[in-house]
Structure 1
């Protein structure tokens, strides 16, 4: 279930409340006339099944509530009442299969604002990856993957491509490029300082590295893992299962490749630069393409579920869908 908090201009309040009450997939409808001050209007709250959220939000958008009023969507961790279960039965499909597209797009815009913490975490992750290369430590590689925040921007890029949001595509692509450029540049400076201090030398990069050599040697499986990780990451975000993102972070070799590239550049290991760059590019491209494909399949599958449910219910009563 999702909770909606609406600020509805007074002239539209009756129509909005009537529509909510007529929809079998909506419950806990509350109206407080004139309670909202900025923007001014009636405060209306309700709980809606995740499967019905996109229908309802689309109707609210067409009614101009996104411009004239206010719409806030939040998750409900639990709703154990009998009433809530009855409302859930009125909606087609499973909640995890439904994409609340407005929420996905809004979250994507929020992820590509380019905060200082994004650059800080990405730089720390790339630096940890560089240390992992020097020490040939697989544990540090995993740590660097987990610290890296880049998947949110990758997912936002996929969302922008599917939703045809040019501004989102440009912002996410710019953040990814700028983020890795800054992280690699700062790690390069630190690696040069470490080299000057005698902490690292060329042999640390070019010597045998049984645990981390895969970072600069991309192969077919690099692309396969990137695609699978991209699918899993997008599914976790659209389905509200963000705990699965940790597994995605551990799967992809973007941050380790960037760390290897910076260290190789600092130590003059030019033979490894192309491999590290290719590993980084393969993982980013694979995740974006997989994310786009996953979102497209999810949307098509959900449309089929809704169409099938309506066809099966055509002989009897059907849940009200806002027009």
Structure 2
């Protein structure tokens, strides 16, 4: 179930209540008259089945509540109510399979913005990956995979292409196009510092002796298959209620580790491995986006076609 809150100008409250009251997926409908201060109006609340959310939100947007008032959705972990159970049973489809298009657009838009936090996580992930390469530690490489925030912009690219939201494509492209080079430059500085100080020992840059992390630069068909499977799983997780699966997606792809390995290989003078790592990075990026887009197309064809999606908020 999702909890919906809608701030309504007083002249829009009655139509909004009619929409919610008439939909089988609605329960616990409440209206607070005149409590909204900015913008002024009434507050309408309801619990709605996830599979009904897209249709209800679209109908409320037709009333322009997203412009003259406000609409928010919040996931409910527990709802002990016969009315809520009945709403979920009457709403068509299954909650785990439902796609809330506006939620998807908002989520990918937020996670694909170029900001200090995104750059910090990406840089730390690349530094972790370089440490994993220098110490021949697969565990550290896995840690870098988990820390890396790059799946957000990659998912945004897929969403933007499929929904023809070029503003989202540009935003995600900027985040990746600036984020990865900047993180790799910082990692380059760190790798050079390690080499000068010899803090990891004389064998750190003998990459041919590091067998535990060879999978990072070994690009090939298996790399593409894994990237596509990860992209498909990631988009399924983002368009359903199974978001916990994203952790497995992060661990399965070698985007950030490939970037870190390329930098270390360049400092070590292993140009063949450097180029292979860059190839691995590109294969993973393209594979994730392509598979995510295919999954999104399939899911869109199986649900109501998204219309009237609100543009991204600046920030």
Tell me the TM-score normalised to structure 2 length.
Answer: 0.93
Q: 1:177 and 1:80 mapped to 2: Cα distance?
A: 47
Q: CA deviation at 1:115?
A: 2.5
Tell me if the contact between 1:205 and 1:269 (Cα under 8 Å) persists in the aligned partners.
Answer: no
Where do 1:270-285 residues align within 5 Å? Answer: 270-285=271-286
Q: 2:98 and 2:202 mapped to 1: Cα distance?
A: 53
1:273-309 CA-partner distances (Å, limit 9, x unpaired): 21011000000111011111111111222359xxxxx
Q: CA deviation at 1:82?
A: 1.0
Q: CA deviation at 1:30?
A: 0.7
> In the alignment, what sits opposite 2:173?
173
Comparing 259-268 with 198-207, greater Cα deviation is found at 198-207
Q: CA deviation at 1:203?
A: 7.2
Q: 1:230 and 1:294 mapped to 2: Cα distance?
A: 9
- Alignment of 1:227 with 2:228, yes or no, is yes
Q: CA deviation at 1:201?
A: 6.0
> In the alignment, what sits opposite 1:158?
158
1:26-59 CA-partner distances (Å, limit 9, x unpaired): 1111111111111111110111111111111111
Q: What is the DSSP-based 3-state SS (H/G/I as helix, E as strand, rest coil) of the residue aligned with 1:204? A: coil
Comparing 61-70 with 220-229, greater Cα deviation is found at 61-70
Q: 2:193 and 2:242 mapped to 1: Cα distance?
A: 41
Q: 1:203 and 1:239 mapped to 2: Cα distance?
A: 43
Q: 1:195 and 1:209 mapped to 2: Cα distance?
A: 16
Q: 1:72 and 1:303 mapped to 2: Cα distance?
A: 21
Where do 1:48-197 residues align within 5 Å? Answer: 48-197=48-197
Gaps of 5+ in 1: 305-323
Q: What is the DSSP-based 3-state SS (H/G/I as helix, E as strand, rest coil) of the residue aligned with 2:205? A: helix
Indicate the RMSD between aligned Cα atoms, in angstroms. 1.6
> In the alignment, what sits opposite 1:239?
240
Aligned length: 304
Tell me if the contact between 2:95 and 2:241 (Cα under 8 Å) persists in the aligned partners.
Answer: no
Gaps of 5+ in 2: 306-315
1:53-90 CA-partner distances (Å, limit 9, x unpaired): 11111111112111111111111111121111111111
Tell me if the contact between 2:135 and 2:204 (Cα under 8 Å) persists in the aligned partners.
Answer: no
Q: 1:86 and 1:255 mapped to 2: Cα distance?
A: 46
1:163-222 CA-partner distances (Å, limit 9, x unpaired): 211111101111012111111000000111111123466873442332111211201000
- Alignment of 1:264 with 2:265, yes or no, is yes
- Alignment of 1:296 with 2:297, yes or no, is yes
Where do 1:7-18 residues align within 5 Å? Answer: 7-18=7-18
Tell me if the contact between 2:205 and 2:268 (Cα under 8 Å) persists in the aligned partners.
Answer: no
- Alignment of 1:19 with 2:15, yes or no, is no
Q: CA deviation at 1:111?
A: 1.1
Tell me if the contact between 1:145 and 1:252 (Cα under 8 Å) persists in the aligned partners.
Answer: yes
> In the alignment, what sits opposite 1:45?
45
Q: CA deviation at 1:113?
A: 2.2
Q: What is the DSSP-based 3-state SS (H/G/I as helix, E as strand, rest coil) of the residue aligned with 2:303? A: helix
Q: 2:132 and 2:12 mapped to 1: Cα distance?
A: 60
Q: 1:21 and 1:164 mapped to 2: Cα distance?
A: 33
Q: 1:115 and 1:63 mapped to 2: Cα distance?
A: 34
